Chains A and B, each alone.
Chain A
Amino acid sequence: MRRATLAIVSVLALGLVLLAGCGGKKSSSSSSGGEGEGTTATASDCTPSKMQTHNAGELTIATDKPAYPPYFEDDEPANGEGFESAVAYAIGKQLGYPKSKIKWTVEPFDSSYAPGPKNFDFDVNEISITPTREKAVDFSVPYYSANQAVVALEGSDAAKAKSLADLKDTRIGVQINTTSLSAVDEEIDPSSKPEVFNGSGDVVTALKNGQVEAVVVDLPTALYLTAAQVENATIVGQFGKAEGEEWGALLAKGSSLTGCVSGAIEALEESGELEKITQRWMSQAAEAPQLH
């Protein structure tokens, strides 16, 4: 027994030392590779022959599975249909990769920012850029700025809401790891804690089942949800623009490609190509009424 106690004490002591070590030093380790946003590499460095991609000569792009409309169509990123698929191919084209040299890989959101080597060059998965997240990964400049929207079943109390205050006593559902939750907590501060589901499919089911009275999702998702997934659902309205609602491509911390991807997005913005893609796939997004 005494020996066991000793072993436990030493393990605990070790744990304490580790934690203390973390408390003491403030990340002297954060690497200073690609500075991400703002710095765009010169175009001459961004060619398939010079870029050090995951697979030489190819661009490997990641997203989660299932991939939902309007960001992807038919759960098939490689068909070029859907907003993010189109953006990804446009970035690839800008960097000199033909469609045949662009490969897709599945990367769950939760592992996309895990430390260690990545299986992709960049990841497009409706990921919002925030300063804290940038401590763990690189982001390109944003390619879309999203807004949150409230969806409820037609005829329900929540559907009649005219302001955010009207939603105070509503049971709200959101998807985990989305900025929807912080939007709900900060802007509505509901009396009961929001239900937080694993996937957008579960959010939709919970709304249909009446497990929640309203859901908060990205506006383009809301449009798809009301148009195709739940017949008697309606968009109550959208939130005012908040910070941290800009989506960027996610890259490994200090990736040498961040500047290239950002440069490509900026070029697409200047040429009007990005606007065209956004118009095509997310066009109705601006029409929902705004809630205050």
Chain B
Amino acid sequence: MERRNALIAVLSSVLVIGGLAALVLTSPGWPTVRETFFSWSEFENAFPEVLDGFWLDIKVFMVVEAAVLVIALAIALIRVNASPGLFPVRLLATVWVDVFRGVPTVLLVYLVGFGVPALELEGLPTSPVVLGGIALTLSYSGYVSEVYRAGINSVHRGQTDAALSVGLTQGQTMRHVVLPQAIRRVAPPLLNDFVALQKDVALISIIGPQEAFRVAQIFQGENFNYTPIIAAAMLYLVITIPLARIVDRMGGAGGVR
């Protein structure tokens, strides 16, 4: 039975994928598409520099992700805290999330990238990489704080009550009882945002830095050939597909538990 199922899977895969491939490969425009999107010589020509640009993406991603994890947690903790004295801070945190999560990331990158230097204040960064990183941090801390908050709220109220009743303080309860469970639960959606951020780093290209997408665009415009974009896309896949598998596996493990 097992073997028969595998056979059916193989056959249907060959049929579906082969059919799609045949459709593309026999289309009238395919020779042109092959030349303009899958040219090996263009690929070889652009790849080293696109890879070079991709390192910049990776570096920005690492720094932004670290900042997002910390800032988002702070925002989430502020928003779940019910003490009346913290109301103004809570209001600000809510506005932060509403605004930065509500504005398209590409607009945020553009506004921060061109708006902050226009202030002409001493000490503010003018480096487009730093400005782009700030914009991404603002945007993603909005998303990620909501993920954290959902996790925190998913921990049953009884846990908090129990922790308080054995003498833990509010802070200790959050730190040792609620957060460990909350973060474990939201690890898959956190990784999901991780993948999204990794791709969105390409958005900083609009304010000037020569990261992978920008480098690919430069080659594309120079030679009227889209292959460099494919090269950049492949680099992203090299990172995002393994990440996606990790998310799958974590989801699976959670289900078993």
Residues of A near any B CB (own CB < 8 A) = 2-3, 6-7, 10-11, 14, 18-19, 21-23, 27, 29-30, 109-110, 113-116, 130, 132-133, 135-137, 173, 176-177, 181-182, 193-198, 202, 205-206, 208-212, 253
B35: contacting residue among A3, A27, A109, CB under 8 A: A27
Q: Are B207 and A197 in contact (CB under 8 A)?
A: yes
Please give, as numbers and ranges, the residues of chain B lying within 8 Å of A11 by CB-CB distance. Answer: 17
Q: Are A110 and B221 in contact (CB under 8 A)?
A: yes
Q: Are A196 and B208 in contact (CB under 8 A)?
A: yes
Contacts A/B (CB < 8 Å), 23 sampled:
A3-B6, A6-B9, A18-B38, A21-B34, A22-B43, A29-B35, A109-B221, A110-B221, A115-B36, A116-B32, A133-B223, A136-B224, A137-B224, A176-B214, A176-B217, A176-B218, A176-B221, A195-B210, A196-B208, A196-B218, A197-B207, A210-B117, A211-B208
Q: Are B6 and A2 in contact (CB under 8 A)?
A: yes
Please give, as numbers and ranges, the residues of chain B lying within 8 Å of A209 by CB-CB distance. Answer: 114, 117-118, 120, 126
Could you give, for residues 11-37 of chain B, a 1 whenever the CB lies within 8 Å of some chain A CB and a 0 otherwise? 001100100010000000101111110
CB distance from B124 to the nearest CB of A (A): 11
A11 to B118, CA, bound (A): 48
B133 within 8 A of A: no
Please give, as numbers and ranges, the residues of chain B lying within 8 Å of A195 by CB-CB distance. Answer: 128, 207-210
CB distance from B108 to the nearest CB of A (A): 16
Please give, as numbers and ranges, the residues of chain A lying within 8 Å of B217 by CB-CB distance. Answer: 176-177
A-B CB proximity, top 6 nearest: A195-B208, A177-B221, A29-B31, A136-B224, A23-B40, A209-B117
Apart from A6-B6, A22-B40, A209-B114, list 5 A-B contacts with CB within 8 A.
A19-B38, A21-B34, A115-B36, A176-B217, A209-B118
Please give, as numbers and ranges, the residues of chain B lying within 8 Å of A206 by CB-CB distance. Answer: 114, 117, 208
| Residue with the highest number of chain A CB atoms closer than 10 Å, among B10, B17, B35, B126 | B35
Q: Are A6 and B10 in contact (CB under 8 A)?
A: yes
Please give, as numbers and ranges, the residues of chain A lying within 8 Å of B206 by CB-CB distance. Answer: 197-198, 202
- The chain A residue with its CB closest to the CB of B217 is A176
- The chain B residue with its CB closest to the CB of A199 is B206
Please give, as numbers and ranges, the residues of chain A lying within 8 Å of B6 by CB-CB distance. Answer: 2-3, 6
Q: Are A135 and B126 in contact (CB under 8 A)?
A: no
Q: Are B224 and A211 in contact (CB under 8 A)?
A: no
A132 to B227, CA, bound (A): 13
With A205-B114, A209-B114, A210-B117 as given contacts, are A181 and B38 in contact (CB-CB < 8 Å)?
no
Residues of B near any A CB (own CB < 8 A) = 6, 9-10, 13-14, 17, 21, 29, 31-36, 38-40, 43, 114, 117-118, 120, 126, 128, 205-210, 214, 217-218, 220-226
Please give, as numbers and ranges, the residues of chain B lying within 8 Å of A30 by CB-CB distance. Answer: 35
A198 to B31, CA, bound (A): 30
Q: Are B224 and A181 in contact (CB under 8 A)?
A: no
A194 to B210, CA, bound (A): 8
A194 to B215, CA, bound (A): 11
Q: Are A211 and B221 in contact (CB under 8 A)?
A: no
Please give, as numbers and ranges, the residues of chain A lying within 8 Å of B226 by CB-CB distance. Answer: 114
CB distance from B33 to the nearest CB of A (A): 6
Please give, as numbers and ranges, the residues of chain A lying within 8 Å of B34 by CB-CB distance. Answer: 18, 21-22, 29
- The chain B residue with its CB closest to the CB of A209 is B117
Please give, as numbers and ranges, the residues of chain B lying within 8 Å of A176 by CB-CB distance. Answer: 214, 217-218, 221
A3 to B6, CA, bound (A): 7
A19 to B42, CA, bound (A): 12
A27 to B33, CA, bound (A): 11
Please give, as numbers and ranges, the residues of chain B lying within 8 Å of A194 by CB-CB distance. Answer: 210
- The chain B residue with its CB closest to the CB of A9 is B13
- The chain A residue with its CB closest to the CB of B21 is A14
CB distance from B6 to the nearest CB of A (A): 7
